[in-house]
Structure 1
Amino acid sequence: MSRKIANGSSCTGCTVILVQNLSDKVEILRRYASPSHYIRGKQAPDYKGEALQELEMLTVNAKEAQEFILMKILESNQATEYLSKFMNGSTNISSFKRHVPVVTYDKVQPYILRIATGEESSILCGEQIVELLRSSGTSRGEPRLMPSILKNLDRRTYLYSLIMPIMNKYISGLDEGKAMYLLFVKAETLTNSGTPIRSVLTSYYKSPHFLHRKHDLYNNYTSPDEVILCPDSQQSMYCQLLCGLVECQHVLRIGAVFASAFLRSISFLEQHWCDLVNDIRIGQLNSSITSPACRLALMNFLASPDPELADQVEAICSCGSWKGILGRLWPNVKYIEAVLTGTMAQYIPMLEFYGGGIPLVCTMYASSESYFGVNLRPLCSPADVSYTILPNMAYFEFIQLEDGLRLTDHEEVIENDKLVSLVDVKVGCYYELVVTTFSGLYRYRVGDVLQVTGFYNQAPQFKFICRRNVILSIDSDKTNEEDLHNSVTTAKKILENRNYLLLEYTSYTDTSTVPGHYVLFWEIKSTHNKSPAPLDAQLLESCCAAAEESLDYVYRRCRAHDKSIGPLEIRLVEVGAFDALMDLLVSHGSSINQYKTPRCIESSLALKLLNSKVIACFFSPRDPECSM
């Protein structure tokens, strides 16, 4: 992409003015650093062009934007108890970089808990903390609470506002139809002091920023807001699928936030399509839907019987193989959107199976701590997705991982002078992400490992690699999320050659045996229209061996030479076991929107559930090779 920016010149389709006057640049950065002018539903008529031009300006001036963001954060929060400990009320950026430590959640949690019990927000944040955002928690099974101020909604909305202008550069006519996005809220709770605890997506979907989008043709969803806001995920999913089927000819985009949630919806459709067809046929909503808001909202959708559409849906769903079914049910769909990076990458084969060639699109990178960036090449292969970090979302720093992904443990103390600024990262290098936000996180280790793939103007582009805090360990071995994913990816190819797909997996270290060993829980499905090849012990034992061969040298040495790790085990679970796991974790506080299957099970309840679903166990039949 062109990096040339000159007065009146064109850059990726946008006219960008070179800002030479310092006072003008400061004014522009002030506007872009506080994107409250850019709230959905209040944009100027040509907001799409303005959005891309603004993106150019931000990325061209990424260094200045970052310095401006940090300055504003320090000015807003200088009097907080937390920052005062290190800076004594100073707003000096150099002082911040010298004295404010790099921290993990355990250092911030006491302040958050104090606010939750009624203390003033000022102990951590200069502005009122209006909600605590519950993280997905499923990377390790323990949800975390992140402070959030009212203006955070503006920043999230700003990032969302870039998505469709970017997509519109590659696919035209998206404003001429609807999106069937499966979106869900989670019931919220209150702290003792009355502060709401909710997921970041629940916060957004309940906000005016989402609900006041009525004039935005690019965000015309098939599901009424009342259905999206139904806290009963099963009733909401049923009604959203029903709306999507009724509007099938108008649907141009389908998806969910995470690939796992979208596949869960397809599984739900497999189980309930007969009921959905019947509702369409007779023009009445199934009596199992008891939510008054959902029933009222769907009256217009089922105003009259539609036996012709019912016959079409029934013929498609009852045809046998569901390969390519999404394109048959929604014939005008142009792409499927979901998060497909990190652990979500393992769902790509299943999405390709159901999609039958529909492009898979991954648009943005965000978390409960902060929203980060966007994918400027949304039609690229999911394996090539890189996110351009937006320098007005937060202040970003990075811990370089000198030795691949293994330089530091997540809890190790990081010296301040080891951090790298946003614009100083190097292409090809791996980094752990550190953020400073307006809402009370200062030099906070998010735990994400990223690799720099390039730059867009001054802003770096990152590939998401893994979460650093998910590992398996028996002895001196340390298997991180990427190691696990790669080993499973290798092993599941053996299944695919026999017409089986790995639907889902997780793991844990079983130390009840001596020596301890790795356990993989696998749920699989046949893709063969007729009878598949037998799923015999030799096949699964081969998968065990392949997984072990794909793990790193330290693991293989411990297994084959030191004998400090026992043979890897695959526990095959019955169909629906991982749906039950999701239900369990959602019932304990995770959001269905943000749910990600934990790749390392630590919850005793979750482990008990999965073990109760095991139908067969298989072990690696031989030691792996351990030569370097």
Structure 2
Amino acid sequence: MNRKKIQAGHKLWQSSSEPFYRSFVKSLSDCKEVQEKMLLRIVQSNYDSEYGNLCNFREIDSVESFRKNVPLSSYSDYKPYIQRIMMGEKKLLTSEPVLLLEPSGGSTSASKLIPYTQALRQEFQSGIHPWLYDLYEYYPDISNGRMYWSISPSLMKQSFASQVPVGFDDDASYLGETARTVFPDISVTPDVHNALDMEQFREITMQSLTLEHDLSLISVWSPSFLRILFDWYLDKQKIRDKSFFAGIWSNLQVVSCWTCADSRLEADLLKEYLPHTEIQGKGLIATEAFVSLPFAGYEDPVLSICSHFFEFESEDGEILLANELDKGKTYSVIVTTGGGFYRYRVGDMVLVTGYAESTPLLRFIGKKSMVSDRRGEKLNAHHVAEVLEKVIGGRQCSFYMMAPDYDGDDLAYTVYVEGNNIFEMCIADQVESLLQHNPHYQYCSALGQVQRVRVFQITHDAVAAYEQRCIEKGQTPGDIKLMALSKYDGWSEYFKGDYV
């Protein structure tokens, strides 16, 4: 390993990130003004687009006139435009050309295609680079080794009839041009693009990583993706000690992954494999927008105010600006971006936990749209997560999830649990009691439309089975999140175990 060359590559990347970092730090104290300037820049840049003409962009000179002329939107509002973009039409949502269409992860709905322009790429850089610079400053030993940035295997490739390219080359493409320059020197890049299946993907990946004893950072999306990778290797090598990896990667400073909401349990389990490594939560990053970033000194991610224009919808439907949010309250995120999505409901819910000067700290708590509603019961994933956390959280359970289930025509919800002493926990009664606080569920239960909660004890390999079904549903392995509530039924056919 040429340590000087590696350190030089890290230094170049950190230096290229510094201007973004300085700008971000300076902006934290003036959230309102920074956001207003961001809005007007986006609007003025898209005067000549079809959508801009439709919404009178040339008449917009303030937040108030923007709200008056531009309605709140969802992906269905943009789908006709995106279909025309795929046919080669220009200046529809933005004045500048669409560079590519990026498929979303599709964790709660079918895959969407998100238009990426140069402006949107720059907006993502305005969130990524402050985080990177801060990471180097807080963990300087990262520069003494190579990094691993997840490249998700495309085992179920989708084809699109499009005159515009579809998809980034790999998961690291959003990191910017400097990253492309230095990556050959500072990153471990397993050649997995042609992997035929997950077995081959894991073999190639772990062969590369275990040879890299100076590995300094791992960046993946889902912590379960990494844990399954580790378990596969340990089983393959017949190694019983989970902390084996801490021994070969003594310089591993940080694992960056999801740590909030449904990913919290899996992130905690990673500490068994890497007890001396910091598990840093990622900010809220959607395919459509870069919402927040982790920042040293703050417990929760900071709103990425230099990336896009943000609005927030309160639980009672009031639309607020970033500087108008109250600590302790929950909001859903609305973004306006240089990619052509205006007042777009992302579908993510956040809790405001404090402030970095005048800029809010946001903790991701779940997807607003994730509701299971087979017979009018309207179970929300956020509420289900709270119920399962109260009943099962803190016990010796490595996996738990609830999903609709059928016994003939009878509908019930089943809690799937992997862990010990399930019989002693009275899970079904406790979960049923708490779900009854939802009036829709209570009503359906009283009418006999939904039967009482059941429990299915999983004997082993719960996460691997969960991942396999998600892949069959078309999800990319690196994007798979463990969910407290699944809208799919039939999980007993995938998990090993039986009903309690």
Same fold (TM over 0.5): yes
* 1:97 is the counterpart of 2:67: yes
1:425-440 to 2 correspondence within 5 Å?
425-440=325-340
Matched, 1:586 2:468: no
Change (3 A) 1:388 1:189: same
1:457 match:
357
Helix, strand or coil at the partner of 2:392? helix
Question: Are positions 1:137 and 2:100 aligned together?
Answer: no
2:270 equivalent in structure 1? 351
CA contact (8 A) 1:52 1:162 kept: yes
Three-state SS of the structure 2 residue aligned to 1:161 is helix
1:373 partnered with 2:292: yes
Structure 1 letter corresponding to 2:229: S
Contact 2:101 2:114 in 1 (8 A): yes
Render the CA deviation track for 1:317-362: whole Å, top value 9, x for unaligned: 2xx353x343234233333321111221131342233333543211
Q: Tell me the residue number matched to 1:204.
A: 173
Residue 304 (structure 1) aligns with: none
| Amino acid of the structure 1 residue aligned with 2:390 | T
234, 240, 243: which one aligns with 1:270: 234
**Residue type matched to 1:177 in 2?**
G
Name the residue aligned to 1:70.
39
| Structure exhibiting the larger radius of gyration computed from Cα positions | 1
Correspondence for 1:411: none
1:186 and 1:155, CA in 2 relative to 1: closer, same or farther beyond 3 A? farther
2:191 matches 1:227: yes
> Bigger CA drift: 451-460 or 563-572?
563-572
Which residue of structure 1 aligns with residue 4 of structure 2? none
2:399 to 490, 500, 503: 503
Q: 1:351 to 1:494 in 2, by over 3 A?
A: closer
Contact conserved, 1:346 with 1:485, CA < 8 A, in 2?
no
* Partner residue in 1 for 2:307: 393
User: 2:171 aligns to what SS in structure 1?
Assistant: helix
Provide the C-alpha distance between the structure 1 equivalents of 2:169 and 2:354, rounded to a whole number of angstroms.
Answer: 29
SS of match in other structure, 1:463: strand
1:175 Cα shift? 1.0
The verdict on how the C-alpha distance between 1:125 and 1:41 changes in structure 2, with shifts beyond 3 A counting, is farther
**Which residue is 1:251 aligned to?**
215
Give the 3-state SS of the residue equivalent to 2:102 in structure 1. strand
Kindly state the Cα deviation for residue 568 of structure 1 after the two structures are TM-superposed.
Answer: 0.7
Pairing of 1:71-220 with structure 2 (within 5 A): 71-87=40-56, 89-93=58-62, 94-116=64-86, 118-140=87-109, 142-186=110-154, 189=158, 191-198=160-167, 202=171, 204=173, 208-214=177-183, 220=186
Q: Contact conserved, 1:510 with 1:519, CA < 8 A, in 2?
A: no
> In terms of mean alpha carbon deviation, does 558-567 or 95-104 score higher?
558-567
Contact 1:133 1:200 in 2 (8 A): no
Q: CA deviation at 1:121?
A: 3.2
Q: Is the 8 A contact 1:325 1:354 kept in 2?
A: yes
State the secondary structure of the residue aligned to 1:451. Answer: strand
SS of alignment partner, residue 198 of structure 1: coil
How do 1:467-486 residues align onto structure 2 when only pairs under 5 Å count? Answer: 467-473=367-373, 477-486=377-386
Question: Which one-letter code corresponds to 1:125 in the other structure?
Answer: T
How far apart, in 1, do the equivalents of 2:279 and 2:10 lie? 28
What is the deviation of 1:199? 6.2
The Cα of 1:448 is off from its aligned counterpart by 0.8
Question: Offset of 1:426 from its aligned partner?
Answer: 1.9
- Mapped partners of 1:41, 1:255: distance in 2: 15
Gap change, CA 1:81 and 1:231, over 3 Å in 2? farther
User: How many angstroms does 1:491 deviate by?
Assistant: 3.2
Distance 1:147 1:377, change over 3 A: same
**Equivalents in 1 of 2:394, 2:475: separation in Å?**
33
Q: Which residue of 2 aligns with 1:571?
A: 456
Contact (CA 8 Å) 2:145, 2:251: kept in 1 or not?
no
Aligned twin of 1:5 = none
Q: 2-side partners of 1:45 and 1:200: how far apart?
A: 23
Secondary structure, counterpart of 1:489 in structure 2? helix
CA distance in structure 2 between the aligned counterparts of 1:98 and 1:200, rounded to whole angstroms: 39
Task: Tell me by how many angstroms 1:396 deviates.
Answer: 0.6
Larger CA deviation: 457-466 vs 570-579: 570-579
Partner of 1:301: none
Q: What displacement does 1:449 show?
A: 0.9
Whole-angstrom CA distance in 1 between matches of 2:182 and 2:494: 45
1:518 aligns with 2:413: yes
* Aligned mates of 1:42, 1:191 — CA distance in 2: 39
* Contact 1:257 1:338 (8 Å CA) reproduced: yes
Give the corresponding residue for 1:342. Answer: 261
Distance 1:99 1:257, change over 3 A: same
Partner of 1:617: 499
* Matched residue type, 2:236: H
* Equivalent residue number for residue 237 of structure 1: 202
1:553 equivalent to 2:427? Answer no
Query: Which structure 2 segments of 5+ residues have no match?
Result: 1-8
Deviates more, 1:435-444 or 1:80-89: 80-89
Q: Secondary structure at the match of 1:502?
A: strand
| Alpha-carbon shift at residue 586 of structure 1 (Å) | 3.2
Farther off after superposition, 454-463 or 345-354: 345-354
Instruction: Give the CA deviation at 1:205.
Output: 6.3
Could you tell me how far apart the structure 1 residues matched to 2:377 and 2:472 are?
A: 33
Structure 1 counterpart SS, 2:252: coil
TM-score where L is the length of structure 2: 0.85
What is the Cα deviation at residue 399 of structure 1? 0.7
Counterpart-to-counterpart distance in 2, 1:349 and 1:547 = 23
Q: Report the equivalent of 1:624.
A: none
Deviation at 1:69, TM superposition (A): 1.7
Shift of 1:185: 5.0
Q: Distance in 2 between matches of 1:131 and 1:494?
A: 44
Could you tell me how far 1:609 is from its partner in structure 2? 6.3
Once the 2 structures are TM-superposed, how far is the Cα of residue 611 of structure 1 from its aligned partner? 2.3
Deviation, 1:506, is: 4.9
The alpha-carbon distance between structure 1 residues 241 and 495, as it changes in their structure 2 partners (threshold 3 A), is: same
Q: Normalising by the residue count of structure 1, what TM-score does the alignment of the two structures yield?
A: 0.69
Q: 1:529-574: CA deviations, max 9, x gaps?
A: xxxx6x66x346x122233344361267448766553111223346
Q: Could you report, residue by residue, the CA deviation over 1:587-622 in whole angstroms, capped at 9, with x for unpaired residues? A: 55422222224554445xxx456525453113xxxx
**Percent of paired sites with the same residue:** 15
Q: Which amino acid aligns with 1:469?
A: S
Query: Which residue does the alignment assign to 2:323?
Result: 423
Please state if 1:492 is matched with 2:392: yes
> Quick one: distance in 1 between partners of 2:394 and 2:328?
31
Q: 2: distance between equivalents of 1:552 and 1:51?
A: 49
Q: Is the 8 A contact 2:258 2:267 kept in 1?
A: no
Counterpart-to-counterpart distance in 1, 2:445 and 2:276: 43
Deviations 1:382-422 (A, max 9, x none): xxx422112221111111114xxxxx6xxxxxxxxx42112
- Rounded to whole Å, the distance in 1 between the matches of 2:132 and 2:29 is 21
Going from structure 1 to structure 2, the CA distance change for 1:42 and 1:350 (only over 3 Å counts) comes to closer
In 2 relative to 1, CA 45–398 (structure 1 residues): closer, same or farther, beyond 3 Å? closer
Secondary structure of the structure 1 residue equivalent to 2:497: strand
Q: Cα deviation per residue 1:445-488 (whole Å; 9 max; x = unaligned)?
A: 00111121222122211111111111234566433222222222
Q: Is the 8 A contact 1:490 1:550 kept in 2?
A: no
Aligned residues between the structures: 488
Q: Distance in 2 between matches of 1:246 and 1:492?
A: 38
Q: Report the CA distance shift for 1:264/1:196 in structure 2 as closer, same or farther (over 3 A).
A: farther
**Preserved CA contact (<8 Å) 1:131 1:149:** yes
Q: Tell me, what secondary structure is at the counterpart of 2:235?
A: helix
